[in-house]
Structure 1
Amino acid sequence: MTTLTKPEDAPAPTGSEAFLSVRDLRVQFSTEDGAVKAVDGLSFDLERGKTLGIVGESGSGKSVTNLTVLGLHNKKNTTIDGEIVLDGKELLTASESEMERLRGNKMAMIFQDSLTALSPYYTVGRQIAEPYSKHTGASKKEARDRAIEMLGKVGIPQPKQRVDDYPHQFSGGMRQRAMIAMSLACNPELLIADEPTTALDVTVQAQILDLLKDLQQEFGSAIIMITHDLGVVANMADDILVMYAGRAVERGSTREVLKSPQHPYTWGLLSSMPRLSSDVNEPLLPIPGSPPSLLNPPSGCPFHPRCTFTDKVSGERCSGERPVLPVGRGSACHLTADQKQQVFIDTIQPRLG
């Protein structure tokens, strides 16, 4: 059974202009092995017309967070606490009928795998036209015309003919474009893109990202970009939220996070990326260990079992005390500001070049 409580100690909003406000969000799934703490006290804001990049390894809670925003979890085995407010509307206490009116209309999602997200039994055009007709009351002809229009907007050649094709008749890049067309058919004010460029070649990836930016300028949508690729958020996002083990460990503007990262996990993500300036024979530096089990997450800082800088923190604070992520720019780490700066200059910056 889903339970809802209003947070008492959630961080204060960063500004009253936030279009989407998430406060102290906690999501747990009941399993035979115990409760999976998929999201553990997450807070963030997103303004209209802005893009927030949420990055982290698989299992960090990125997709779970945004499926919660859309209200798509199975309520039979999910416990949700916290607060999600979209344009003044509290979503966690909204009825299913209210959420159905919002999904696809005021908020929409581009799912990670377009081949499985699109039904093989219906034409691409029908799948774009159906939600448009449902939310706007448009006739079949008007909805079909809208589908053709949206396919043209996302760069599908000969949209009047391709509107009657099935998903398997589209290439991977074209299916992804069709997913974007379906998501944007009703001009949603919030667009969630879950790994929208996964399994696409770099040329198509760049085209998809440029398309999202162009459509954002046209429709004024707020975008959440979910990815593990920091190169994608560098090109797309205004702000970055770094997640680990269901928690936010660092946030700030894209320039701040990429130019002067503060958390050891962010250092690890950046150090593991190949660079054009590096020697082709230079090995990548992976983050040691594996992400923790969310059935039994580590005490204290969830990253401390994999962190190589715990020796710089006195006592057992890393393993015994949970670090707090400050409001605004900052990171949830027990290293002092001077220590973070020194480690970055001495160790991390030389790796990044």
Structure 2
Amino acid sequence: MSTLSQSAAEPSAAPASSFLSVTDLYVHFATEDGTVKAVDGLSFDLERGSTLGIVGESGSGKSVTNLAVLGLHNPRNTTIRGEIVLDGQELTGASERQLNRLRGKKMAMIFQDSLAALSPFYTVGRQIAEPFMKHTGASRREARARAVDMLRKVGIPQPELRVDDYPHQFSGGMRQRAMIAMALVCDPDLVIADEPTTALDVTVQAQILDLLKSLQQETGAAIIIITHDLGVIAKTADQVMVMYAGRCVERGTVKEVMHHPQHPYSWGLLSSVPRLDSSVEIPLVPIPGAPPSLLAPPPGCPFHPRCGFSDRVPGGACHTVRPELPDAQQRGSACHLTETQKESVFTEQIRPRLR
């Protein structure tokens, strides 16, 4: 059974300055092989009208974190601890009925695989109209008109005709736009986009990102973008959170993280990205090894088995002591290297790769 930090009472008012505040979040899954620590003590804040980019390799806990925000994990095998406060409402421990009132209206998610997320048995227009009817009490005619309008906003040609098409009749890019229309049909205050540009060609990717930005400017929504694509983060996000092994290892503004990263994992991510303006003589530097098993994460810093700088930390602290981030509102990284060491490594080894 799910273990939650709050009882399933009405979401209580909580004093929080941020629109979304996640504090000390743990999401663990019970499996036959043991407990998977998918999210292991994560905290972050998000303001209205801003965009947070969450980046990291597959299995780092990006999607698990945001599914917990929406309350979409299976309670039978999931243990959730910590606080998730959305606009003053505590979501951890809220009942399914209470969360259903918020999903679609207050918070919504654009899922990664639009073909799997859209039902093949109903038209695209009906699937967009359904949450609008549920949350606003609109008639079928009003909801259909709203669906047509949303399809027009997201750039679907001839929306009056395409509203009656089924998902398989849409291209990949059009399905992704339909997913965005469905997520935004009730003008939610929080939009979570899980890999919104995966498997789309570059032109469609740019259109999807521009669309999200323009709709955010219209509605003032807060947006979380989950991706492994640093180019997407650079184009859309205001703040960046780098995740590894269920933890945040670095956070800051886009400019800070992209141009002056502080954590060895961030260095590895940026060093492995090809750049059009870089010399062909500068090789890409992949991160050695593989992400750790979350059934038995390594002691100390979870990145130390793959880190090329742990030998610079005296006493073997990387192998035994978990590095912590500074205060949740501050720029920083969870690394045992001193600020002087970080600056030296970045200046001598990392910056030349990023030019």
Q: Shorter-chain-normalised TM-score: which range?
A: over 0.9
CA positional deviation for 1:5 = 2.9
**SS in structure 2 opposite 1:278?**
coil
Task: Tell me what 1:347 maps to.
Answer: 349
For residues 196 and 297 of structure 1, do their structure 2 counterparts lie closer, same or farther at Cα, with a shift above 3 Å needed? same
Task: Tell me what 2:187 maps to.
Answer: 187
Task: Tell me what 1:257 maps to.
Answer: 257
CA positional deviation for 1:282 = 4.8
The correspondence of residues 31-110 of structure 1 with structure 2, limited to 5 A, is 31-110=31-110
Task: Tell me what 1:20 maps to.
Answer: 20
Amino acid at match of 2:348: D
CA positional deviation for 1:16 = 4.7
Amino acid at match of 1:47: E
- Per-residue displacement from partner, 1:104-153 (whole Å, max 9, x unpaired)? 11000000010111111110000000111011111000000000000000
Task: Tell me what 1:306 maps to.
Answer: 306
Task: Tell me what 2:228 maps to.
Answer: 228
- Per-residue displacement from partner, 1:132-175 (whole Å, max 9, x unpaired)? 10111110000000000000000000000000001111111100
Task: Tell me what 1:10 maps to.
Answer: none
**SS in structure 1 opposite 2:161?**
helix
**SS in structure 1 opposite 2:39?**
strand
Amino acid at match of 2:349: T
Gaps (5+ residues) in structure 2?
Answer: 7-14
- Per-residue displacement from partner, 1:277-321 (whole Å, max 9, x unpaired)? 224465421100000000000000000000000111001100100
Structure 1: distance between partners of 2:55 and 2:293? 18
Structure 1: distance between partners of 2:226 and 2:62? 6
Amino acid at match of 1:320: T
Structure 1: distance between partners of 2:36 and 2:134? 36
**SS in structure 2 opposite 1:168?**
helix
Structure 1: distance between partners of 2:89 and 2:24? 17
Structure 1: distance between partners of 2:150 and 2:24? 37
- Per-residue displacement from partner, 1:202-255 (whole Å, max 9, x unpaired)? 100000000000000001100000000111011000000000000000001111
- On the 8 A contact 2:5/2:92 being kept in 1, the answer is no
Task: Tell me what 1:246 maps to.
Answer: 246
**SS in structure 1 opposite 2:203?**
helix
**Cα root mean square deviation, aligned:** 1.0
Amino acid at match of 1:88: G
The correspondence of residues 105-184 of structure 1 with structure 2, limited to 5 A, is 105-184=105-184
**SS in structure 1 opposite 2:243?**
strand
Structure 2: distance between partners of 1:140 and 1:36? 44
Structure 1: distance between partners of 2:144 and 2:38? 40
Task: Tell me what 1:329 maps to.
Answer: 331
Structure 2: distance between partners of 1:26 and 1:258? 27
Q: Percent identity?
A: 74
Structure 1: distance between partners of 2:220 and 2:192? 14
Amino acid at match of 2:4: L
- On the 8 A contact 2:16/2:85 being kept in 1, the answer is no
Task: Tell me what 2:12 maps to.
Answer: none
Structure 2: distance between partners of 1:238 and 1:129? 31
Amino acid at match of 1:343: V
Structure 1: distance between partners of 2:4 and 2:166? 41
Amino acid at match of 2:54: I
TM superposition outliers: structure 1 runs of 4+ over 6 Å: none
- On the 8 A contact 2:326/2:332 being kept in 1, the answer is yes
